[in-house]
Chains A and B, each alone.
Chain A
């Protein structure tokens, strides 16, 4: 990562934990996880809490839907690390690689059900333009999303807009397909806490 403290500035106990993870998993901890261990009282503790609540807390959206939203927001932001991570996690959650690939390729083409499609379209607009109109929200509601689902989607969007920006600013190292797949397995088993 671009700041040396994010590569080497961890407490001895944390460094030991990183070494143990590497030993047992056969790969280093991804930078996205590492970052949350750096001065966790400043960022990591509350960021993990928020992200876990958004991605795994109660919601009418499935985990797969929310991971797909995370991948889509990352795609609009052009955040390579997060596209890889959440494409892999959505794929594993849905057990459907074609569905995820199709949505990320062209939101209008594939057979994505409403209200997910309208919700993704609204999130894309919000991330790209920094704003959405009440009319955009009326479209999403008309497509069948409840107000609660819209709020839940906005939380996913906020969480991954932040993570993607930090990934790009700090320069998270991209993973191999096997690395993303291992991360996806972990995130579906343990979540973000």
Chain B
């Protein structure tokens, strides 16, 4: 049976990575993966994907001061958050499938 929740999440991931944006698709993908970004953007995105509660006004101000528009930052922050959540979703589903495979047939759903 199709997991409608998973399908809806995948639609969000596909949109933020593959649809139109003010930031390039390449840069959105980097924000999504939290890797390969230049300072000061890397600090902001790293916090969004890591300890998001530690994001400060100064982190956002520094990213803006480096020439980023607010729309680019909106997109890149969204990509960073959606990307980190996608990783834990994937990891959880993979661990579940592994547990079910180890239990053997009969438990599969």
Q: Which residues of A contact B (CB under 8 A)?
A: 2-6, 9, 38-39, 41-43, 46-47, 49-50, 53-54, 57, 77-80, 122, 126-127, 130-138, 141, 146-148, 150-152, 154-155, 157-159, 161-162, 164-166, 168-171
Overall SS of chain B's interface:
helix
Chain A's closest residue to B45 (CB) is: A169
Q: Mark B73-109, 1 if CB is under 8 A from A, else 0.
A: 1110110111011111101110110111011000111
Q: Report the separation of the CA atoms of residues A136 and B102 in the bound assembly, to the nearest whole angstrom.
A: 13
* Complex interface residues of chain B between 34 and 75 (CB less than 8 A to chain A): 44, 47-49, 51-55, 57, 60, 70-71, 73-75
B70: chain A residues at CB < 8 Å are 3-6, 9
Q: Report the separation of the CA atoms of residues A146 and B68 in the bound assembly, to the nearest whole angstrom.
A: 46
Contact A157 B55 (CB under 8 A): no
Our pick among B73, B75, B98 for the contact of A42 (Cβ within 8 Å) is B75
Taking A53-B8, A57-B5 as contacts, is the C-beta distance between A151 and B96 under 8 angstroms? yes
Q: Report the separation of the CA atoms of residues A168 and B52 in the bound assembly, to the nearest whole angstrom.
A: 6
- A-B contact list, 11 entries, CB within 8 Å: A3-B60, A42-B21, A43-B78, A54-B8, A122-B92, A131-B91, A146-B109, A158-B89, A162-B82, A166-B77, A168-B54
Contact A77 B78 (CB under 8 A): no
Q: Report the separation of the CA atoms of residues A57 and B6 in the bound assembly, to the nearest whole angstrom.
A: 12
Q: How far is the CB of B103 from chain A (nearest CB, A)?
A: 8
Taking A5-B74, A132-B91, A133-B95 as contacts, is the C-beta distance between A165 and B81 under 8 angstroms? yes
Contact B77 A50 (CB under 8 A): no
Q: How far is the CB of A138 from chain B (nearest CB, A)?
A: 5
Contact B52 A136 (CB under 8 A): no
Our pick among A2, A39, A57, A126 for the contact of B88 (Cβ within 8 Å) is A126
